[in-house]
Structure 1
Amino acid sequence: MSSLDSSAPSGAGQTRSGYPLVTALTYAMFFMFAMTTDAVGEIISIAKEEMNLSNTEASLFHWATMVGIALSGILLGSLADSIGRKKAIIVGLAVYAVSCAAFFGFSSFAFYLGLLFAGGLAIGVFKTAILALIGDITTSTHDHTRRMNACEGFFGIGAIIGPMIVVSLDKAGLSWRWLYLFAAAMCVVMIIASLRTTYPSASESKKPDPEKTDTDLLSTIRLMGNRYAMGFSMAIALYVACEVSIFVWAPTLFADFTGTPLATAVAAYAVMIFFILRAVGRFLAVWILQMFDWKLVMAAFTGVIFLCFLLSAVMGKATAVFLLPFSGLFMSMIYPTFNSKGISCLPKAKHGAAAGLILFFTAVSAAFAPLLMGYVSDTFGGGNMEIGFRLATIFAGLLFVFAIYNAIADPAGSTLAEADSQEY
């Protein structure tokens, strides 16, 4: 193992949980890329007017990034296993820094889409490495889930700050592109910090089992034959379709909303409220998952999410303006928990590939669900986004069905118990 991916010296007294600088870097990276990717709803609302785009065209701002992440996850996810977590993180951050800084190069729709796609490829590389790294610094599948929720909590904070920056820039008469320049500067700082930080090796507690080590570029694709990886990937895809429907299309849904003073104020800050509640929920998850069975929590919370979408679809914008942002509190634990369990079902030597597979389905859903919502609203609703949110309600219902099945059948229970005894 090269110096870029070295472990702590033997006897240094540094356990998997004893990497505070590595942990801080994982939080910072989650914060940084959330700041850009989850600001896309506000960017779309500005770019539509700026470039005279339709709903379908504007959704490509989100689509380009997600397609890049999807391709990177499925084709490059195993880099975290083959070249090491640290190298993969540095390479991904470097490419992302360049793609963000280049937003000030030209001002064209096609150029922006190209940069967003390149940025998505970079995110896929460093995010799969982060997700694999979390397994290296945790001590059990339960600890993995708690730490994953904490990371996603910082993601939630970035998702609040990003839209706030875009709105503030717009009110000051400045371009939304400054958000990406700020992200590029953060990447440079994190690259320097990564170079000066000691990372654990991919399998610190034991030598990798050659029969379990599979790090070529097709290793992620081969995991599609694993029922646990695919099952959790499908659940995550349904969840993501619900989540992105709000932060991508809620600004458009409530753009012309008028109602009571309270409802109008909530409509103006719907996405921000959603992200705040999602961030609060993810930090609460660290406590809630200590108190209750994760399967029951997932079933209860997905049920509330489905109810929020269903009542919004039936009762209209006056109800949706409150319930859609409120659903963020219950969405908060779904993604990191399913993500953690899906990764933990695989040996640590395959955590990078497993993270890549889940990230692929995350990004595919994030790319095509909003695009499909935009198409449905344009085709069947004359641009009315309420029609698009009816499709999102179907996604929420299917997610609830999956969570109920998982709570009753517990299909991954024995595999996760085995991972606790053999991998952690």
Structure 2
Amino acid sequence: MPSTVNRESKTLVFISLICTYVVFAILLNSVGTVILQSIESFGISKTQASTLEGFKDLPIAIVSFLLASWLPRFGFKRAIIIGLTIVTISSALMPIVGGFAMTKLLFLSVGVSFALVKVSVYSTIGLIADTAKQHASKMNLLEGCFMVGVLSGYWIFSFFINPENPASTEWLNVYWLVVILCGIALFSAFAADFPEPEIAPAESSFDSFKAMLSLVWLPFVVMFVCCAFFYVLIEQGLGTWLPTFNKDVLGLSNNISVQITSIFAASLAVGRLSAGVILSKVDWFVFLVVCVVAMALLLLLTIPLTQQAAPTQPISSWSAIPFAAWILPLIGLFMAPIYPAINSVVLSALPKAQHASMTGLIVIFSALGGTFGSLVTGTVFDKFDGQTAFYTMLVPMAILLISLVLYRRAIPALARG
């Protein structure tokens, strides 16, 4: 039987989840900045740099596939502590070892750890939320804090980039600060009293694994998987390559390219924090359809503004930044509510005992979508140009819109409202 926890304990657990998620927000979404700096510092091509997303996302998919259904038996608190410990060690090695190989190893460790953490975090929310509305509220708050972590990450990394010598490896010192943040998250995880998940006494780990795979055959889960895959493809395709787009297409300096990308993260944070209020008054399906259409329109209206040639000298003054650089990141406002909303709908439609298995599927297909999105965008960027790479995102946007319609029709009647 699951353990019961009082309100104060639930609050401490939720704070621990937020601290952990903020650390991973900084690390996971630093890939765009690290791609830009790896191209400069380690002399690699855009196609080579795009593999960093795979080193991050494929381990997430593999570990989630193998371990998600087993984690309730292992313990969510233990999984979070192990994940944080792994990234603490790898982050400490970054400034010591350096090089592109160590960078790939870092993202590999981040991917493995995040698989443990995300399944544990999402499943724990189901244990500390008493109603579907409370679940949706906590989910949006958690994802909003995640985006605040992403936002702060862009500025933290940019402060360690030397604008006079962007190719230097001074930026690697940022990982000492990351180690400190990991320590704070570890302390909060040790201090919190996590509730125990409900586990069928006779259920083996193999039975749990089969239960996760059986979810794939549910029609509304199939359509959810499509929505999650193409959403993350779009988010990572645009977000990961936005710093490089700012530098190569708009002619911004490296540190300014990273800093102004924080508008994208800020837009995502504002969108997710406000989505909880909006979704309490508006049907989630109508709202998400409007968001997807608005994303496509903003992209179509903004990309033509970037067609001018990049200046001969990198732009290092905020007053000289072109208009398009301010507008394009605002796509995050419309993108933000989609992911937590579709996740909350699918989890609310399932019994709490299946949340860990469903979260495993969420993580797997989100990771695959992120890897594919970054590889496609990076390859098109390398072979053609940044505008063509971003225009390519209109295709998954159209598929996402169709998937949302089919998802709405497939989910159980109680989850449609």
In the TM superposition, residue 350 of structure 1 has moved relative to its aligned partner by 1.9
Name the SS for the 1:53 alignment partner: coil
2:215 to 223, 228, 239: 223
TM-score by length of 1: 0.85
What is the aligned counterpart of 1:124 among 115, 123, 126? 115
Q: 2: CA distance between counterparts of 1:210 and 1:343?
A: 24
Matching of residue 274 in structure 1 with residue 264 in structure 2: yes
The 5 A counterparts of 1:12-411 are 14=6, 19-171=10-162, 175-203=170-198, 216-217=208-209, 219-257=211-249, 269-313=259-303, 316-317=306-307, 321-379=325-383, 381=384, 384-406=385-407, 409=409, 411=410
Superposed CA deviations along residues 87-111 of structure 1, whole A, max 9, x for unmatched, are: 2212222222222222234223223
Following superposition, the deviation at residue 218 of structure 1 comes to 5.0
Query: Which stretch shifts more, 309-318 or 188-197?
Result: 309-318
> What TM-score comes out, normalization by structure 2 length?
0.86
Distance 1:342 1:401, change over 3 A: same
**Contact conserved, 1:243 with 1:331, CA < 8 A, in 2?**
yes
Cα distance, 1:357 vs structure 2: 0.7
Task: Name whichever of 36-45 and 172-181 sits farther off.
Answer: 172-181
Query: Which residue of 3, 7, 10 maps to 1:7?
Result: 3
Post-superposition Cα deviations, 1:322-364, rounded to whole Å, max 9, x if no partner, equal 5431111111111111112222333211211111111111111
Q: Which moved more, 1:149-158 or 1:37-46?
A: 37-46
Q: Please, which moves more after superposition, 344-353 or 103-112? A: 103-112
List gaps (5 residues or longer) in structure 1.
none
Structure 2 gaps of 5+ residues are 309-322
Q: 1:320 to 1:221 in 2, by over 3 A?
A: farther
Question: What amino acid is the match of 2:183?
Answer: V
Does the Cα contact within 8 Å between 1:377 and 1:388 map onto a contact in 2? yes
Give the 3-state SS of the residue equivalent to 1:139 in structure 2. Answer: coil
Q: 1:395 to 1:147 in 2, by over 3 A?
A: same
Cα distance in 1 for residues equivalent to 2:128 and 2:154 = 31
- Mapped contact 2:223–2:404 kept (Cα < 8 A): no
Cα distance between partner residues in 2 of 1:212 and 1:345: 24
- Whole-angstrom CA distance in 2 between matches of 1:268 and 1:47: 13
Take 1:404 and 1:299, find their aligned partners in 2: how far apart are those partners? 8
CA deviation digits over 1:125-170, x for unaligned, max 9? 0111000001111122222122111001111111011111111001
* Distance of 1:271 and 1:395 partners within structure 2: 22
State the AA in 1 paired with 2:390.
F
CA distance in 2, matches of 1:210, 1:145: 31
Alignment of 1:414 with 2:413, yes or no, is yes
Q: Deviations over 1:287-346 (max 9, x none)?
A: 111111112111111111122223345665578535431111111111111112222333
- The equivalent of 2:313 in structure 1 is none
- State whether residues 226 and 403 of structure 2, in contact with CA within 8 Å, keep that contact through their aligned partners in structure 1: no
Answer whether contact 2:154 2:262 (CA < 8 A) is retained.
yes
Structure 1 residues 191 and 269 mapped into 2: Cα distance closer, same or farther (>3 Å)?
Answer: closer
Q: What amino acid is aligned across from residue 227 of structure 1 in structure 2?
A: P
Q: CA 1:149–1:256 in 2, change beyond 3 Å: closer, same or farther?
A: same
Aligned residues: 397
Deviates more, 1:321-330 or 1:171-180: 171-180
Q: Is the 8 A contact 1:74 1:221 kept in 2?
A: no
SS at structure 2 position matched to 1:131: helix
Instruction: Quote how far apart the aligned CAs of 1:208 are.
Output: 5.0
Could you say if the C-alpha distance between residues 324 and 401 of structure 1 is closer, same or farther in structure 2, counting changes exceeding 3 Å? farther
Task: Give SS of 1:291's match.
Answer: coil
Task: Quote how far apart the aligned CAs of 1:32 are.
Answer: 1.0
Corresponding letter in the other structure for 2:300? L
Change in 2 beyond 3 A, CA 1:211/1:67 = closer
Q: Contact between 2:292 and 2:401, CA under 8 Å: does it hold in 1?
A: yes
AA aligned to 2:286 is L
Greater mean deviation of Cα atoms: 365-374 or 89-98: 89-98
CA–CA distance in structure 2, aligned partners of residues 97 and 114 of structure 1: 13
Greater Cα shift, 144-153 or 96-105: 96-105
